[in-house]
Amino acid sequence: MMEGTSLRKLVVSIVIVMMMVELTKAELHYVGGNKAGWTPNTNFSEWTSHEKFLVGDWLFFGFNKVLYTVFEVNETSYEKCIVQDFIKNITKGGRDVFELTEAKKYYFICKDYCFGGMKVAINVQDIPAPAPAPDKNASPSNHSIQVTPVMVLAIAMIWAFLFKYY
C-alpha cells in the first residue's frame, strides 16, 4: 500500500510540473522569420509587427558569420548605426541565441550593414498575469476553458492512478 501512495505522489508531482511548464513556456523567435533571417534584405520592422515578445522568450539570429554580426546596442547607437560602446556582442557562430530577460526595448544592429537596414528593435512585454478567479457571487455565464494536450494528459494520468490503487 505504501508503494501506491508514493507512486501517486510522484505522478501528481510530475503533473504539476508539466502544467507549470505549459503555463511558462518561452517562445523562440527566428529573427527575420526563418533560420537564416539575419540578412540585409529582410524587413525587420515588418517582421516585428507580427510578433509578440515576452520576458523569457529567446531570439535566434541565423546568419553567415563571415559577412554579418549581431550587437546589442542602446537606442542612440541603434539610430546612428554605431557599434562603439555596444552592450553585448551576440555574434558567436552564425546560429546565435539571445534571451529576453526583462520588459524593455532591445536594439540589435549589424556592424557593416546597419545603414542598409540590418537592424531590429524588439519591444519586450511582461508575461501577462493569469486571469482573475471568477467571483463566487456572480451568476453563471459562458466562461470557457482552453484545454491543452498537457491538461488532458495530466487529467488522464491522475484519473488512472487514483482509481488503479483504490
The three-state (H, E, C) secondary structure of the chain, written as one string: CHHHHHHHHHHHHHHHHHHHHHHCCCCEEECCCCCCCCCCCCCHHHHHHCCCEECCCEEEEECCCCCCCCEEECHHHHHHCCCCCCCEECCCCCEEEEECCCCCEEEEECCCCHHHCCEEEEEEECCCCCCCCCCCCCCCCCCCCCCCHHHHHHHHHHHHHHHHCC
Residues 43 and 84 in one domain: yes
Residues 15 and 61 in one domain: no
Is the pLDDT score of 40 beyond 90? yes
pLDDT band with cut points at 50, 70 and 90 for residue 23: very low
Q: What does the pLDDT read at residue 18? A: 55
Q: What does the pLDDT read at residue 143? A: 41
* CATH assignment of the domain containing 99: 2.60.40.420
Cα separation of 85 and 5, whole Å? 59
Residues 98 and 166 in one domain: no
Q: What is the pTM of this model?
A: 0.66
Residues 76 and 115 in one domain: yes
Residues 113 and 48 in one domain: yes
Asked if residue 39 belongs to a domain, the reply is yes
- Give the residue-averaged pLDDT of 9-32: 68
Total domain count, the chain: 2
> What tens digit of pLDDT does each residue of 79-114 get?
999 999 999 999 999 999 999 999 999 999 999 999
**Structural domain boundaries enclosing 93:** 28-125
Residues 4 and 18 in one domain: yes
Give the domain-ending residue among 94, 110, 125: 125
| Residue scoring higher pLDDT (8 or 58) | 58
Q: What does the pLDDT read at residue 22? A: 46
Residues 45 and 110 in one domain: yes
- Give the residue-averaged pLDDT of 45-58: 96
Round the average pLDDT of the chain to a whole number and report it: 82
Residues 12 and 33 in one domain: no
Residues 91 and 155 in one domain: no
Is the pLDDT score of 26 beyond 90? no
Residues 49 and 112 in one domain: yes
Is the pLDDT score of 123 beyond 90? yes
| Residue scoring higher pLDDT (133 or 39) | 39
